[in-house]
Chains A and B, each alone.
Chain A
Amino acid sequence: EAGVAQSPRYKIIEKRQSVAFWCNPISGHATLYWYQQILGQGPKLLIQFQNNGVVDDSQLPKDRFSAERLKGVDSTLKIQPAKLEDSAVYLCASRPFGLAVSSYNEQFFGPGTRLTVL
């Protein structure tokens, strides 16, 4: 089974520039997550999709971050304009089933995109 794919793996931009990340979850996984992992910290959830709908975006800085999952499959996360504090690894994860607590609650993570903002 192929894992969660992310691209690019690395990105270096200057502040105030825009950047986009792409994620392709495991086939058939209904739930998709974007996390931000700042160096020395645990991943922090930015946004959670259930199919193509947003379930939770309470920690997404909506003035500069946006995300979409138009067809309920792959997803893009955009930052516009980027700030120095956005330097982090952006992780995508997917999970097979819906929101209910169940034995299928494991999330599978992609390799991440390391963003450096200069």
Chain B
Amino acid sequence: AQSVSQHNHHVILSEAASLELGCNYSYGGTVNLFWYVQYPGQHLQLLLKYFSGDPLVKGIKGFEAEFIKSKFSFNLRKPSVQWSDTAEYFCAVMGNTGKLIFGQGTTLQVKP
């Protein structure tokens, strides 16, 4: 069965600090990988996605993620966070059924 595990439930950083959110998945076949963000009071938005090709993918707002197939990981990174990055972040995996499986989410709080 597919599953997604996010390592951190709650992360607190100061502005300009670097961010890395861990995500590991369990699935035996071809996967598509996603990071979604949910800002306070807003709906889920796609940050970035990996389908194939270059394992380092860049998304919106300076975020990037690296797919490491051997480690079943898809960690999210940002070199320098801003207060406006305060949100909840969800890693998700989609297999060949078109079904999205989400991790439990990581709440990021950035202090000004």
| Residues of A near any B CB (own CB < 8 A) | 31, 33, 40-45, 48, 55-56, 91, 93, 95, 98-103, 105-107, 109-112
Which of B32, B94, B100, B104 is close to A41, meaning CB atoms less than 8 Å apart?
Answer: B104
Residues of B within 8 A of A107 (CB): 100
A99 and B98 form a contact (CB under 8 A): yes
In the assembled complex, the Cα of A99 lies from the Cα of B94 at a distance in Å of: 11
A100 and B43 form a contact (CB under 8 A): no
B97 and A56 form a contact (CB under 8 A): yes
B102 at the interface (CB under 8 A from A): yes
Q: List 22 A-B contacts (CB under 8 A).
A: A31-B98, A40-B104, A41-B104, A42-B4, A42-B102, A42-B105, A43-B100, A44-B102, A55-B97, A55-B98, A91-B44, A95-B98, A98-B98, A99-B98, A100-B96, A101-B51, A101-B95, A102-B51, A105-B49, A106-B46, A110-B43, A111-B43
In the assembled complex, the Cα of A100 lies from the Cα of B100 at a distance in Å of: 13
Which of A42, A45, A95, A105 is close to B104, meaning CB atoms less than 8 Å apart?
Answer: A42
Residues of A within 8 A of B98 (CB): 31, 48, 55, 95, 98-99, 105
- Chain B residue at minimum C-beta to C-beta distance from A103: B51
B76-112 interface (Cβ within 8 A of A) = 90, 92, 94-105
B30 at the interface (CB under 8 A from A): yes
In the assembled complex, the Cα of A25 lies from the Cα of B92 at a distance in Å of: 21
B70 CB to nearest A CB, Å: 20
Which of A55, A56, A105 is close to B32, meaning CB atoms less than 8 Å apart?
Answer: A105
B43 and A101 form a contact (CB under 8 A): no
In the assembled complex, the Cα of A48 lies from the Cα of B4 at a distance in Å of: 19
In the assembled complex, the Cα of A45 lies from the Cα of B42 at a distance in Å of: 19
A109 CB to nearest B CB, Å: 4
In the assembled complex, the Cα of A112 lies from the Cα of B49 at a distance in Å of: 22
